[in-house]
Amino acid sequence: MKTTKLAKVASVGLAVSMLSSLAACSGGPGESSETTTIPSQIETTADETVDDLGYTYGLGETFHADQPVTYTMFFSDASWYPMVDTWKTEGIFKKIEEMTNVTLDIKSYDSGDYMDNITLDINAGNSAYIIPKIYDDSAFVDGGAIVPISDYVQYMPYYTDFYNTYNLSADIQTITRANGKYYKLPGMKEANLINYSFVIRKDIWDAAGIDVVKLQKDWTWADLLDALTKVKAYMVEQGMCEESDYIWSDLWCGNESGQGSGGNLLGVMASTYECNAGWNIGNGMRFDFNANKFIFSPTTDNYKEFLKTANSFIAAGILDPETFTQDDATATAQYYNGKTAIMSINQGQWANYEENMTAQLGAGNFENYVITMPIGSTRNSTVDPARLENGVMISQKALDDLGEEGFIEMLRFVDWLFYSHEAYDLTKWGVEGEHYTVDADGNKKLMDGFCCSGLGYGNDEAGSMTDIRLQWGYAGGNFWYGGTVAEMSDNLIPPVADYVNRDYTDRDTPPLAPGVAPTADQNEEINLIATPLISNVNAWTLKFVTGQEDIDAQWDAYVQSCNELNVQGLVDIYGELYKG
């Protein structure tokens, strides 16, 4: 395991040092076959920075086409910051055009049905050239509509430099197919930063006699339950709630965003027990490093312990069982008005929470604090060990329409847009000197009159500032937040930077599982087994967690129900793929 010391200076002047253990799994058992091995280093094919057509490219260069050129691109349009005309006339797309001489012809779909719509377009032969915001490319690999991009990355100097500098070969192996190729350009990270955790009302915890700062370094879920029990007793004593009330009503878990799986809460809790659940359930398969094989984690003893832990918070009257059916607004309203004392949070939500609570409780009448995740069966952090994010596919239509030479020129633009430091700053922060400044230490700060909810700096109550995301499209999700630690954390305000730092200091980074590369037929078989199986797991899990079924009494029946849905078939496929 390789340990890298990470240093970062936050945009508000807070210095944060981080330690991260990054697994180096390339060359391990099951990864050395000729069809799935990928290079540990990628060699670029050219040294010149201006080609015969007048395109400027290369490390340290702003891509620029000598003649104006237009490329089509799909766009996932989020309803909470919808694209407006000013993004094209004076915002992000206009700035890209001014810098590169490239016009992006945008084909936009609402983020809620983005994948459905672009799938229809791709299958109908109407794909855009550039296809961002792709998490799972499985549906597109076998039809021939998407270019196996690994055949062309040597033409992308920014991509290859990052890949080589931070040793991404083992991570890229996780998206490599049975033919040894991969089909999307992933967002790549120097290291993972924790995103989801829990925020607490520290003022109430302090009043209840809980020193959370001292306790959290080594605490377990049982310690968290004990602390919340004392917090509730204090709140009852002070008339803040009744004994019958719950003081934890969580969001991202119910009908609106929990996807019938328990969402974020069960996902992060299970990960501390080395299990897949909630948002992270996937197909349930997980690599057991001790046994050197893939296992179906939802039928393991660790999963049983995770279920008991989750249920203990409901049985104690702390966690509201309606967490797993309610909408998100119900959960946030209760935290904002002081009826609950803990709730899920991610890096982008801090400013939103602070603003809403100030409006309801008044400034100075509360103190929020993000806690370090409790320890389950392991001290591992809840970060995903794979240092990849959502990515970009390139359509075969682009290659057909542009020809190989024109196609490679387009890739040089894509390389600059998604992998250069210059484009990262532009798409995230806007234009230096126009929207933000950088001080002598490299810290970024929005200029007076601007805010950005996408950066964690929400609007003021009077509405007198301009949100650079709403107005011009900066800090949007189509341009992912991979990159170096310094880049990914350059917008973290002190309380968020603090909890990110604590996670790296007090928790371990889990090792990276070996990659497996199923064939098209194996993928189909995996999906046929996993779809009803995971539906069954999710249904039983929510019953166990909420107390509708007794875990000890019904565990064997639950495991049998999974066996009847061919768990062994799934395990056998992975066993064949990974010959340890």
Note whether 378 and 393 are same-domain residues. no
CATH classification at residue 101: 3.40.190.10
Note whether 247 and 272 are same-domain residues. yes
Q: Is the pLDDT of residue 7 over 80?
A: no
pLDDT of the residue at 57: 74
Residue 445 CA: distances (Å) to CA of 259, 260, 455, 488, 498: 37, 40, 11, 14, 18
**Residue 302 · residue 308 · CB < 8 Å:** no
Q: Is the pLDDT of residue 125 over 90?
A: yes
The strand pairing partners of 74, in sequence order, are 107
Burial of 316 (0-12, 13-18, 19+ CB in 10 A): middle
**Residue 352 · residue 199 · CB < 8 Å:** no
Note whether 214 and 358 are same-domain residues. yes
DSSP symbols for 240-290: SS-TTS-SB--SSSSTTTSTTTTHHHHHHHHHTTT---GGG-TTSEEEETT
Q: Helix, strand, or coil here: 509?
A: coil
pLDDT of the residue at 15: 30
pLDDT of the residue at 493: 82
pLDDT tens profile 387-400: 998 999 999 999 99
User: Phi and psi of 574, rounded to 5°?
Assistant: -65, -35
Note whether 394 and 370 are same-domain residues. no
For the chain, the domain total comes to 2
**SS percent in the chain: helix, strand, coil, step 5:** 40, 15, 40
Average model confidence (pLDDT) for the chain? 89
- Is residue 12 domain-resident? no
- Is residue 3 domain-resident? no
- Is residue 464 domain-resident? no
- 460: pLDDT confidence band, cut at 50, 70 and 90? low
Least confident of 51-60, 439-448, 534-543: 51-60
**What domain range is 134 assigned to?**
42-192+386-429
Query: Looking at residues 264-269, what average pLDDT do you find?
Result: 96
pLDDT of the residue at 519: 84
Per DSSP, helices labelled H in 60-165 are: 85-89, 92-100, 114-123, 138-141, 157-165
- Is residue 32 domain-resident? no
Last residue of a domain, one of 429, 460, 489: 429
Taking Cα atoms as reference points, which of 466, 477, 471, 479 lies closest to residue 85? Answer: 471
Question: Which helix (H) or strand (E) element contains residue 108?
Answer: strand 102-110
Q: Is the pLDDT of residue 18 over 60?
A: no
Note whether 406 and 331 are same-domain residues. no
Those residues whose C-beta lies under 8 Å from the C-beta of residue 469, and which sit 6 or more positions away, are: 81, 452, 453, 454, 455, 475, 476
pLDDT tens profile 134-189: 988 888 988 899 999 999 999 999 999 999 999 999 999 889 988 889 999 999 99
Question: Which helix (H) or strand (E) element contains residue 450?
Answer: strand 450-451
Note whether 140 and 275 are same-domain residues. no
Question: What are the tokens at 153?
Answer: 């990355």
Query: Looking at residues 523-543, what average pLDDT do you find?
Result: 95
Note whether 284 and 408 are same-domain residues. no
Those residues whose C-beta lies under 8 Å from the C-beta of residue 429, and which sit 6 or more positions away, are: 435, 436, 444, 446, 455, 468, 474, 475, 490, 491
The strand pairing partners of 380, in sequence order, are 508
| Cα angle 298, 299, 302; round to 5 | 75
